[in-house]
Amino acid sequence: MNSLDELIRDIPDFPKKGIVFKDITTLLRDVKGFKLAIEKMCEPFRSMQIDAIIGIESRGFIFGSPMALILGTKFVPIRKKGKLPGKTLSKTYDLEYGSNTIEIHKDAIKSGENVLIVDDLLATGGTVRAAADLVQSMGGKLIGAAFLIELLFLNGREKLSNIPVYSIIKYES
């Protein structure tokens, strides 16, 4: 393995024609590659005080959970509407073709806690922005957002201008 991006498979025309899907399942089944990805995602945060890692459904769970264990903090899932059993806060955001709603348990983040958002991929930034808005509405302090992959050509960072963004693999096109 020369680099982690060699473990990411391109699937053309998925989920619709004209899109090249970045498939992480090939990385996940490579034990050394998956371990390296988690270690690299943790690197910039090892010396920071992190009170919670937010994982965005569903691939954010894959990376956020082991990061929480390594960094010694709690893991908090943000899920699609209707998937969490307790009282929740929700945020609706726009997609390219419609809208979506995500939710977090009302008691998941305490005011003043330092929070890191984790997901597999930063594309347009809509989902992460919605997650950040939920965290901030609860009084959480966003210390950053970490991603395995960033699609630079979709300018997702622009929606996260007030949040430090860290990504391992960057694609220009």
Distance CA 21, CA 11 (A): 5
Q: What per-residue confidence (pLDDT) applies to 2?
A: 55
- Mean pLDDT of all residues belonging to the chain: 95
Q: Among the listed ranges 12-21, 34-43, 89-98, 125-134, which one has the minimum average pLDDT value?
A: 89-98
Q: Which residues are catalytic?
A: 59, 96
Q: What per-residue confidence (pLDDT) applies to 94?
A: 86
Running DSSP on this structure, what letter comes out for residue 136?
H
pLDDT level of residue 97 (50, 70, 90 thresholds):
confident
Q: Tell me the per-residue pLDDT of 1-54, one tens digit each, with 9 for 90 and over.
A: 458 999 999 999 998 898 899 999 999 999 999 999 999 999 999 999 999 999
Domain boundaries defined on the chain: 47-171
**What kind of fold does domain 47-171 have according to CATH?**
Rossmann fold (3.40.50)
